[in-house]
Amino acid sequence: MAVIDNVVYVAGKAVQHPQDLAQTLQIMQQTGGMGWLGLYRPSEQELAAVTEEFGLHPLAVEDTTKGHQRPKLDRYDEHLFVVLRPARYLDEAEEVEFGEIHIYAGTNYVVTVRRAEAPQLATVRQRLQNAPKLLSAGPAAVLYAIIDQVIDEYFPVIDGLQNDIDEIDEQLFQGNLNVSRRIYQLSREVIDFQRAVAPLPEVLEQLRRVVRRMGLEKSQAKELDANLIDVIDHAIRCAERVASFRALLSNALSLSSTLASQRATEAGLAQNEQMKRISSWAAILFTPSLIGAIYGMNFDQMPELHWSMGYPFALGLMASSAVVLYLVFKKNRWL
């Protein structure tokens, strides 16, 4: 089975590391402790075994099997079902990789199903084990810690996206032909990121309402509620930053289109000026060629054909017509 961690906690301290599900349930019954089972990319058969042992709701299990769920918190009779979309920034590829984690939280157990490298749940376990008072609050504390870790891992992603946007700002005015495509790709990542972050404040508010009805000790409830309020603040900050990124990229895409149109117009004007010059010189050269062609036909019955001044007259006419055309085109700024 794709079990990464399987631990039973009593009063916030790890007491056993069961070898299988049956032993987990047995120790939980004997000690009255909380079981935390971590799964990584389980098969349908493995998930079905966990479902049978813990009595997970079939609709929630169906969501886990299909995947591609939005962040949410669903309440069933026997447990909570939370979906999160963790993310991490890949420096080499300069892109954001999104994962998905599903959490089942009952009265005395937590089952996490992870299908990506993020978040680092081992870090979450270690953090909670170092804070037994918080962990003794049970599954609600585990839910809080996992969501907090997911949001903490969002901030390096935000920094990476900020660097990408700064690079785009520099490329916009350098005539980079691929900048529009990069803006579009980055916009898609930001939209996906926004879909992962935006629902979290409401998810955390729902969790706060659930915690209030759990009947925890006053000190535990107060500490957990304070922690949830802090995480809500972080989630709102993330959502605001991502929303600002989306606005910046939208403006950048508009500016890129404007600059591309401006460059095309400038190129067209430059090409038009070149065509004016070419046409002007062609006209200047064509007129003497026309005169020479007419007088070069050598028909007997042509005026001035045998005139002694005909040759100088033809040369003068060629030169004068060329000069006149040159002056006309110069005046009209074609040359």
pLDDT in tens, 23-79: 898 999 999 999 999 998 888 888 998 999 899 999 999 999 988 899 999 999 889
Q: For the chain, what percentages of helix, strand and coil (3-state, to nearest 5) are there?
A: 60, 15, 25
Helices (H) and strands (E) in the chain, counts: 11, 9
User: What value does the mean pLDDT take over residues 206-217?
Assistant: 87
- Of 103-107, 237-241, 327-331, the one with minimum mean pLDDT is 327-331
Distance CA 10, CA 138 (A): 9
User: What value does the mean pLDDT take over residues 7-16?
Assistant: 90
Average pLDDT for the chain: 85
N- to C-terminal Cα distance for the chain? Answer: 82
Instruction: Look at residue 139 in the predicted model and tell me its pLDDT.
Output: 93
Domains parsed from the chain with CATH numbers: 3-261 (3.30.460.20), 269-331 (1.20.58.340)
Closest CA to 152 of 129, 175, 127: 127
Tell whether the model's pLDDT for residue 298 goes beyond 90: no
Q: How many CA atoms does the CB half-sphere of 330 hold within 13 Å?
A: 7
Name the CA dihedral angle for 162, 165, 166, 168, rounded to a multiple of 10 degrees.
Answer: 160
Q: State percent of the chain over pLDDT 70.
A: 84
Instruction: Look at residue 158 in the predicted model and tell me its pLDDT.
Output: 95
Length of the chain: 335
- Of 62-66, 161-165, 253-257, the one with minimum mean pLDDT is 253-257
Give the pLDDT band (50/70/90) at residue 157: very high
Q: Which two tokens stand for residue 322?
A: 């060329």
Name the CA dihedral angle for 229, 124, 136, 196, rounded to a multiple of 10 degrees.
Answer: 40
Q: Which two tokens stand for residue 281?
A: 């010189």
Instruction: Look at residue 267 in the predicted model and tell me its pLDDT.
Output: 63
Per the CB < 8 A criterion, the answer to whether 28 and 34 are in contact is yes
Q: State percent of the chain over pLDDT 90.
A: 42
- Of 144-148, 234-238, 300-304, the one with minimum mean pLDDT is 300-304
pLDDT: which is higher, 300 or 130: 130
Q: Which two tokens stand for residue 325?
A: 């055309």
- Of 26-30, 80-84, 238-242, 267-271, the one with minimum mean pLDDT is 267-271
Per the CB < 8 A criterion, the answer to whether 42 and 23 are in contact is no
